[in-house]
């Protein structure tokens, strides 16, 4: 079977947006199995091929990231200028993050929760054991 070529990026992110996504990648890079990829033609983060987060187009704005529904509601209530959803994401386990207003000291925890949603049990076990 031939290897499928990744979809081209549909939009060139501005230098500022690219720098913010690079910052997200750096935070996510501490978790095992994380890989930079593409989803819907935009830069994304996957864990062993499973979708975790993606940069939405600049017209749409934000970072779409996996998030437990209860945590999502708490984030939106605490900082609606930073965390939000659109109708498209209403029933999904995702939250949208405005990377220009997010508190970056909160990002490691948000990214870890997203990672735990898609990582294999073995990755999680190995990561937790290594942290002890």
Contact between 53 and 45 (Cβ < 8 Å):
yes
**Residue 76: phi, psi to the nearest 5?**
-65, -40
pLDDT at res. 11: 65
pLDDT at 8 over 80: no
- pTM of this structure: 0.88
Residue 53 has pLDDT above 90, yes or no: yes
Q: Given a cut of 60, is residue 83 above it in pLDDT?
A: yes
Angle at 70 between CA 131 and CA 93, to 5 degrees: 85
Give me the domains of the chain, ranges plus CATH numbers: 15-123 (3.90.1150.30)
Percent of the chain surpassing pLDDT 90: 77
Is the confidence at residue 128, as pLDDT, over 60? yes
pLDDT greater than 80 at residue 12: no
């Amino acid at each position: 079977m031939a290897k499928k070529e990744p979809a081209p990026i549909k939009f060139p992110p501005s230098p500022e947006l690219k720098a913010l996504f690079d910052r997200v990648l750096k935070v996510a890079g501490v978790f095992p199995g994380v890989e930079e990829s593409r989803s819907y033609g935009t830069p994304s983060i996957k864990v062993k091929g499973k979708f975790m987060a993606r940069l939405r187009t600049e017209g749409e704005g934000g970072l779409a990231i996996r998030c437990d529904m209860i945590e999502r509601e708490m984030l939106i209530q605490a900082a609606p200028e930073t965390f939000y959803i659109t109708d498209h994401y209403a029933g999904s386990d995702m939250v949208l993050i405005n990377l220009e207003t997010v508190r970056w000291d909160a990002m490691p925890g948000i990214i870890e929760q997203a990672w735990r949603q898609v990582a294999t049990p073995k990755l999680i076990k190995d990561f937790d054991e290594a942290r002890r």
